[in-house]
Every structure is written in C-alpha cells, then in structure tokens.
Amino acid sequence: MENFNRLNDLYFKKLLGDKKRKNLTLSFLNGILNKDDENCFTDITFLDKDNEPLTLDGKLSKLDIRADLNDGTQVDIEVQVCPFKLMAERSLYYWSKMYSEQLEKGAEYKKLKKAIAINLLAFDYLEDEQDWHNIYNLLNVKSHNKLTDHIEIHFLELPKFTLKDMRKIRASEAWIAYFSGKYSKEELEEIAMTTPAIKEAVEFEDTFLQNKIERRAYEQREKAIRDYYSYMSAFKEEGIQQGLQQGIQEGIKKVAINLLKANMPIDFIAQNTGLNEQEILHLQQLMIK
C-alpha cells in the first residue's frame, strides 16, 4: 500500500504490542537501547493488554506500550504523530507513574527497577539537537556524573533520520528506517538481510493490509488524524480572524471553545491557546450552563 503509515496506532500496537510477536518488540528494544548478544533482553511481558487506541470517531489517543523486561526493567514506548510542545513534561510524567507504580504500599525502595521511556516522534522536537536519537539521564550539572541509572528517557525523531550506509546498518537504524516510511519495499528487503526482524515486520504488514477489517480500522484512524489537522487549521484561522475583530484574547477563547466542542484534551488546548487549565475549565463550565 502506497504511503502506508506504520505509526498508525492500530498498526503499531498490533506489530509491537502483541505477545505473539514479542520477538519483534525485543528486537526493537535491544536495537534502540544498544544491547549486544551478551546483555540483551531475552523476554518481555506486556502490561497493558487491554489498552487499545481510544476511538474511531475522530479523537486521537496517546498510544503507549507498557512492558516488563526479563531483568525487571520497566519500559514505556510512546508514539506521537501530532506535534506536541510539552513532550518532555509529558514523558517525565508518564515515566514517574511507571516508576512509582512498581512499589506496593509499604514496599522497600530497593525493589525499584530501572524505568525507560521511549518516545517515537513523527515530528522535530529537540530544536538544539541534530541527531535523531537523544537519551536523557539524571546527571550532576557540574561533574556530569550520573546520580542513578534508574531513569532513562529516549527521543527518536523520525524526520531527522537518514540512513548513511545500508551495508553497515545497525538494528536501531533498521527499525527507524522501517517506521520512517522513507524507504521502498526493495530497500527494506535489503535492510532485512542484516536485520531479519524487519523481514518479519514487512510480512506482517502485508497480512495486516490484506485483512479487510484491519485495513478498514486503519483507514478510519488515518481519517481521524486528517480531520484533526483540519480542525486545528480551521480553529487557528478562526481565532486569528476573531482576534482582529474582537481582540486577541476573545479570539483565543473562541479557539478554546471550539476545541472543547471537538473533545480535544485540556492539555492540548492549553498548549495551542496559551490559556491555563483553570481558564479552560471555566470556559467548559460556561458551555454547560
């Protein structure tokens, strides 16, 4: 299928979030986390089996895959297709939940295991970074010594990725090349010669697209994303026009109200209007009245 979006949440979840294909998830994680044969993860348990993407009616869901690796390491893979300015804050928030939820009440801190957040982004986010893969830890600002290895947050920015040498490709590059959509089936077949998991992913993709039900669900999700961008373009344009006629603040409120009517998340509305959460909730209450 031409222009197939491999970051489509339904497809991504079925490809890497299903225990039947956990070998692919392990290949992806071991590649991104730069694990070799001696220290690679060998097993994975998915922790969110019922966490399917939310709706097919136009709402966009946050997709993540939560898992527990064989050494106790916790990992969260998030896919974000639509630009979001507060990715760092959101990733840290979800990382903190993943880390804290390891302990039951009264449990000892020594039972805590490393938690890794991986953000796969279809847009440029880190303006001051040129590399497509950036890793963040908790460091001393003077010595740069690491306080603990329990926190690790990855940002993978697909638009920044370019494959330099297909003959010397690493597993992480093979997976990003696959998800980027920049390379043809023929090129992916060449990549699969060094990374067999990519061959299996391409084969699963073909099976997925041949299933009429799966393909229909995929197309509905793609429509939801297109509608989302249309909403945003229309709302921002309307806000500008309202701002010229009634004042900038009134125009911004008009945008926020339209976004509330479209069931957009409050944090997203705050990001795109500059209004704080209390102001948005106030507008929401006025709408109810």
Sheet with 146-157, strands from edge to edge, namely 44-46, 63-69, 74-80, 115-121, 146-157, 133-139
Kindly report whether the global pTM for this prediction surpasses the value 0.85: no
Q: Is the pLDDT of residue 189 over 50?
A: yes
Chain-centroid distance of CA 48 in Å reads: 15
Which pLDDT score is estimated for 41?
93
- Give Cα separations from 131 to 82, 238, 283 (angstroms): 20, 37, 41
Give the number of other CB atoms < 10 A from CB of residue 257.
Answer: 18
Q: What tokens were used for 231?
A: 């909403």
Residue 21 reports pLDDT greater than 90: yes
The answer for residues whose C-beta is within 8 angstroms of residue 175's C-beta and 6 or more apart is 27, 28, 31, 32, 195, 197, 198
Contact between 37 and 55 (Cβ < 8 Å): no
Among 7-21, 90-104, 121-135, top mean pLDDT goes to 121-135
Residue 47's pLDDT is 84
Cβ burial of 83 (10 Å; 0-12, 13-18, 19+) is middle
Q: What is d(CA 286, CA 289) in angstroms, rounded to the nearest whole number?
A: 5
Higher pLDDT among residues 129 and 253, named by residue: 129
Predicted pLDDT of residue 121: 95
Residues 6+ apart with CB under 8 A from 288: none
Lowest-pLDDT choice from 22-31, 41-50, 96-105, 232-241:
232-241
Q: Write b or e for each residue in 85-111: b if 16 or more Cβ atoms lie within 10 A of its Cβ, otherwise e.
A: eebeebbeebbeebbeeeeeeeeeeee
pLDDT at 76 over 90: yes
What average pLDDT does the segment 242-270 reach? 73
Q: How far apart are CA 238 and CA 200, in angstroms?
A: 46
Please determine, for residue 244, whether its predicted confidence score (pLDDT) is greater than 60: no
Domain ranges of the chain: 9-210, 248-287
Q: How far apart are CA 163 and CA 188, in angstroms?
A: 12
Residues 193/165, Cβ–Cβ less than 8 Å: no
Residue 68 has a CB neighbour count (10 Å cut-off) of 16
